[in-house]
Amino acid sequence: CSFNVTRFIYSTALTLDQSEATMHMGETLTLNASYEPSDATDPALIWSSSDESVVQVQGEGSQVVITPVGLGTATVTVRTSDGSELSASCEVTVAPTLVESLTLDVDSLTMYVNDEIQINALVEPWNATDASVTWESSDPEVVDIQYVEENVVTVVAKGLGTAYITATTNDGSSLTANCVIEVIRQSIFGDVNCDGVVSSIDITCLYNYLLNGDMTYYATSDVNGDGAISSVDITVIYNILLGTGK
């Protein structure tokens, strides 16, 4: 009578090819485990993440893929399942992806008073953790910010002059991009309220300033360009309406 006796061979060593790693959202990391001896009876391995809201483990066996799902740090651990109670770990940090490039879709503009236009901020890389920007006007009395929707700003020309519209990243990369805007006199001489025609309404706008201090159309009220807003400007518009001026 004979017996076949199979000796159970336990694992004696377990290591990972990385003990720490840094990742960004959108990337993946491959971890490889090695165990000794190579003829261990039960080579099965158990993988786990200490925080699956940061990284998750995909796959099984001696090679797995680590996928980031949120910012932070988590420990990926591999353990033997044969009772040897061996383990190895890798500390994985998921770091924010900073903006590397910020540009605007236009870098210079010429506008008339009361014109509106949209400016778009273009951010790279596509997977930047925080791609938002903050908008600012160097002179809101010349060009003012009306409203912002994501990385698109709508600006309105308020008065004659030059202003810079600046976009600044919010993620700490401190990148900026500028658009220089020149606001010039309306193309129709005497069109104080910039509605495209010269009419009695323009005279009313001048009276509102001279009598009531209404500053709405201050920037375009010096019709004759002599540096002062006065009854002379009203006379100029009267002459235009009567066909005796221009």
Collect all residues with Cβ–Cβ distance below 8 Å to 127 and sequence separation of at least 6.
24, 25, 26, 97
E strands, the chain, where? Answer: 13-16, 20-24, 29-36, 45-49, 55-58, 63-68, 72-80, 87-95, 101-104, 108-112, 116-124, 133-137, 143-149, 152-157, 161-169, 176-184
Residue 64 pairs with which residues in a beta bridge?
Answer: 31
Residue 49 pairs with which residues in a beta bridge?
Answer: 76
As a residue count, the chain comes to 246
Residue 119 pairs with which residues in a beta bridge?
Answer: 153
- Going by pLDDT thresholds of 50, 70 and 90, the confidence category of residue 221 is confident
- Going by pLDDT thresholds of 50, 70 and 90, the confidence category of residue 5 is low
Whether pLDDT at 95 is above 90: yes
Q: Where is mean pLDDT largest: 1-10, 41-50, 173-182?
A: 173-182
For residue 8, which of 45, 43, 44, 40 has the smallest C-alpha distance?
Answer: 40
- Average pLDDT along the chain: 90
For the stretch 133-180, pLDDT in tens is: 999 999 999 999 999 998 999 999 998 899 999 999 999 999 999 999
